[in-house]
Amino acid sequence: MWDEVWRERAQCRFSSPDAMFVQGAAQHEAKRVCYGCPVRTECLAAALDDQIAFGVWGGKTERERRALLRRRPNVTSWRTVLETAREEHALVSAQTGVELAVRAG
Ligand code: SF4
């Protein structure tokens, strides 16, 4: 389920506001904060849809986000793309879980 108030659950809300707006190699350090973030997908979708140019969002540096935007220039809603991908992944995971449970007897 898509979290409409994702900012309230952002892992980085415990960090300094400037921590995600660093440059160069420090961005890779900043990305570590995102790894365990429960709203990473929502955050990335917002950054891509709003074409936010600076900072680490959704575990991606500005350079990585630009690459995504270049790779998929026809996407009009990254939220739709990422939400659909997450739902499909959950469905496959659930099916796999059921199949493994059936096999285990
Ligand atoms: S994914 Fe990263 S930048 Fe986005 S809310 Fe979570 S911790 Fe913050």
Ligand 1 is surrounded, with C-beta below 6 A, by 10-12, 20, 33-34, 37, 39-40, 43, 56-59
Which residue's alpha carbon is nearest to atom 2 within ligand 1?
Answer: 34
> What is the Cα–Cα distance from 48 to 69, expressed in whole angstroms?
7
57 forms beta bridges with: 60
Amino acid identity, residue 20? Answer: M
pLDDT of 37 > 90? The answer is yes
Scanning the chain, the segments in alpha helix (DSSP H) are 26-35, 40-49, 62-71, 78-104
The pTM of the full predicted model, rounded to 2 decimals, is 0.90
Q: How far is the CA of 63 from the centre of ligand 1 (A)?
A: 16
- Residue 39 CA to ligand 1 center (angstroms) comes to 7
For residues 30-56, give the mean pLDDT. 96
pLDDT for 32 beyond 90 = yes
